[in-house]
Amino acid sequence: MPDLLIQALTAFGAVFFLGGRVDAAAVASCRNIPGDPGWPSLADWAQLNKTVHGQLIGTVPQASVCHTGPYSDYDETACQALRDGWDLAGTIEPHPAGVMNGYYQNQSCDPFTSTSQPCVLGNYAVYSINVTGADDVVAGIKFAKEKNIRLVVKTTGHDYKGQSTGKGALALWMWNLKTADIITNYKSAGYSGPAIKLGSGTIGGEALTVARDAGYRLVSGECGSVGVASGYTQGGGHSMLNSAYGMAADQVLEWEVVTATGEHLTATPTQNTDLYWALCGGGGGTYSVVLSMISKIYPDGPVAGGTLAFQNTDPTAYWEAVSLWIQHAPTLVRQNNTIIYLIFNNFFEALAITLPGQPVSAVSDLLAPYLTQLARLNITHSLTTTHSPTYHDHFNTYFGPLPYGASSPTTILHNHIIPRSITSSPNATANLVTAYRETVKDNKFLIGCLVFDVSNTTRHPPNAVLPAWRGSSTSCNVNAFWNFSVPLRENLDRKRDLVERVVPAIERATPGGAVYLNEMDPWYRGEWKRMLFGGNYERLARVKRRYDPLGVFWGNFSVGSDAFEIDGAGRLCAVAGKGRC
């Protein structure tokens, strides 16, 4: 067995099997966790490792070097290096069980707690299979079903609602499926043209580079660290190229998957069409395990960009300017343009203004009417423009350095998609700005928005993208950075403030709005089926029942998730009359 597996097995013996007996009847409807009578034996795990040809990895938390036992000795140099890069994707993503969400890390074993605090697995998966192909996925699914343990699909760990990890879980670690192959003339009944086949472990920064080198661009996330074929595209996928080409899910031509019953399938607009439809926007890690994806790509070319910023020196003028921007911005993205902007209590910035195929002068021309309004309000602004020879270069300018990018995914956040009926109404916008002003007034939160136009649905087959995207021009997140240097309760208090005060106020100001399922707080208390899936939910539930009848794949707020719940010990348990183990 690999050294990591032996090391982990030794530690597990110390950590898990000294806790006494567990009442078997109490957990009969639950997936087993370490210490339960039904938990697989070490011999069982060794046999699974043999089945997957040595690709089973026992989890040794990265931050074990910051604690004394049971996994390793304290190492000050290694621990300090972890502290310095703990909020960077490049630190966490290459680790089999790593997750970037501070809430799910739960200070079980991190670099910022006392060295004397025990290092325990907590919410981390217990074992991971380093997936090298379909057979490994089939073996993992079979083992999880036979041993009645939780199974998760983990690619990058860039995950806000905890779907890629779980206590007592076996993880299918897709990270090393890093293929990226250009298909110059893909042909199907509905499309003929260039495409790219991406393994599910390929992140956006890697895919952008491969596409650029071949003279193309593709729709990928603003964070280069996001896996393109994984939860990003399966959940819909917003991008700086949305207005030009549509959502990431709109680009998909083929999915290669393994289902919960162990079938190795291809799903396209003409083959396994229900599964294709669901995978294109209905949520990741829910209907099957994606091995690869073929998507459209587009000829590359120059991109004009820019950043507009101004300070809050006069609150009345500042918030009027913000209100005017929210109303005006949707008119700026009707010709393939996309804009990202940030609202702070004392500062506004429209960054990564993206104008594909246009000259640099187009940025100033586009913003001229709004700049006139700023002058009327006596607001001094700064405007910088760029002109990049390729989309890759444009991306790297605003969100680099690639491949991972500089954006920290260790945030507290929740999304709201704003209907055009709000942004087109001065009165409705005023109500929204009042909610925003209250949200950011004490500098605990900021608002980050994407302005886009994905209303054209004629250029792709029908899919499960949340319909609210089509009727909106603006998607915003309320953000707060997770602070690893303060007690856990302070971060939890901020999360509670977000879901109990901020989110309800914004939802009251955006009637008819929705929530992007990839960017939501796991404590969300709204009508999640309607807000995340709209009118697609029942059809998605039928697909779920067909391809995963036993609920092998589960995640917070995913389709069918209400059939299970997490008990007080962290087990995934069937809800009476709904779920099956």
Q: What one-character DSSP code corresponds to residue 553? A: B
- Please report whether residue 95 resides in a domain: yes
User: Are 438 and 518 found together in one domain?
Assistant: yes
Domain of residue 13 covers 3-173
- Please report whether residue 262 resides in a domain: yes
Start-to-end CA distance of the chain, whole Å, equals 30
User: Are 231 and 102 found together in one domain?
Assistant: no
Residue range 433-492, pLDDT digits in tens: 999 999 999 999 999 999 999 999 998 999 999 999 999 999 999 999 999 999 999 999
User: Are 253 and 313 found together in one domain?
Assistant: no
User: Are 165 and 193 found together in one domain?
Assistant: no
Calpha distance 287→561 (Å, rounded): 12
Look at residue 163 in the predicted model and tell me its pLDDT.
Answer: 94
Assess whether pLDDT exceeds 50 at residue 14.
Answer: no
Residue 56 phi, psi (nearest 5): -85, 130
Residue range 237-262, pLDDT digits in tens: 999 999 999 999 999 999 999 999 99
pLDDT band at 558 (very low <50, low <70, confident <90, very high): very high
Pairing of strands 127-130, 151-154: unpaired
Look at residue 576 in the predicted model and tell me its pLDDT.
Answer: 85
Residue written as token pair 């799903």: 267
Q: What is the mean pLDDT of the chain?
A: 95
Q: The CATH number of the domain where 168 resides is what?
A: 3.30.43.10
When pLDDT is averaged across residues 398-413 and rounded to a whole number, the result is 89
3-state secondary structure of 271: coil
Assess whether pLDDT exceeds 80 at residue 581.
Answer: no
Q: The CATH number of the domain where 463 resides is what?
A: 3.40.462.20
Residue range 84-122, pLDDT digits in tens: 999 999 999 999 999 999 999 999 999 999 999 999 999
Calpha distance 18→131 (Å, rounded): 32
- Please report whether residue 544 resides in a domain: no
- In sequence order, which residues have a C-beta less than 8 Å from that of residue 512 and are 6 or more positions away? 419, 421, 422
- Please report whether residue 573 resides in a domain: no
Assess whether pLDDT exceeds 80 at residue 23.
Answer: no
User: Are 160 and 76 found together in one domain?
Assistant: yes
Q: Report the domain count for the chain.
A: 3
Assess whether pLDDT exceeds 60 at residue 498.
Answer: yes
Calpha distance 140→529 (Å, rounded): 29
- What's the token pair of residue 347? 């500062």
Q: Looking at 173, 201, 217, which one is the last position of a domain?
A: 173
User: Are 70 and 96 found together in one domain?
Assistant: yes
Give percent above pLDDT 90 in the chain.
92
Calpha distance 537→551 (Å, rounded): 16
- Please report whether residue 554 resides in a domain: no
pLDDT band at 28 (very low <50, low <70, confident <90, very high): confident
Residue written as token pair 């700049």: 371
When pLDDT is averaged across residues 314-329 and rounded to a whole number, the result is 98
User: Are 253 and 332 found together in one domain?
Assistant: no
User: Are 486 and 464 found together in one domain?
Assistant: yes
Other beta carbons within 10 Å of 143: 22
- Please report whether residue 234 resides in a domain: yes
Q: Which has the closest alpha carbon to 373: 418, 328, 424?
A: 328
Look at residue 6 in the predicted model and tell me its pLDDT.
Answer: 46
User: Are 90 and 134 found together in one domain?
Assistant: yes
Look at residue 24 in the predicted model and tell me its pLDDT.
Answer: 52
Q: Looking at 173, 195, 222, which one is the last position of a domain?
A: 173
Residue 178 phi, psi (nearest 5): -105, 55
- Please report whether residue 574 resides in a domain: no
Assess whether pLDDT exceeds 50 at residue 373.
Answer: yes
Calpha distance 27→40 (Å, rounded): 15
User: Are 459 and 338 found together in one domain?
Assistant: yes
Look at residue 20 in the predicted model and tell me its pLDDT.
Answer: 39
- In sequence order, which residues have a C-beta less than 8 Å from that of residue 133 and are 6 or more positions away? 291
User: Are 271 and 338 found together in one domain?
Assistant: no
Residue type, 109: C
- Please report whether residue 10 resides in a domain: yes
CA separation, residue 20 to residues 17, 35, 36, 37 (Å): 7, 8, 10, 10
Q: The CATH number of the domain where 289 resides is what?
A: 3.30.465.10
Q: Looking at 173, 196, 231, which one is the last position of a domain?
A: 173
Give percent above pLDDT 70 in the chain.
94
User: Are 168 and 184 found together in one domain?
Assistant: no
Residue range 264-285, pLDDT digits in tens: 999 999 999 999 999 999 999 9
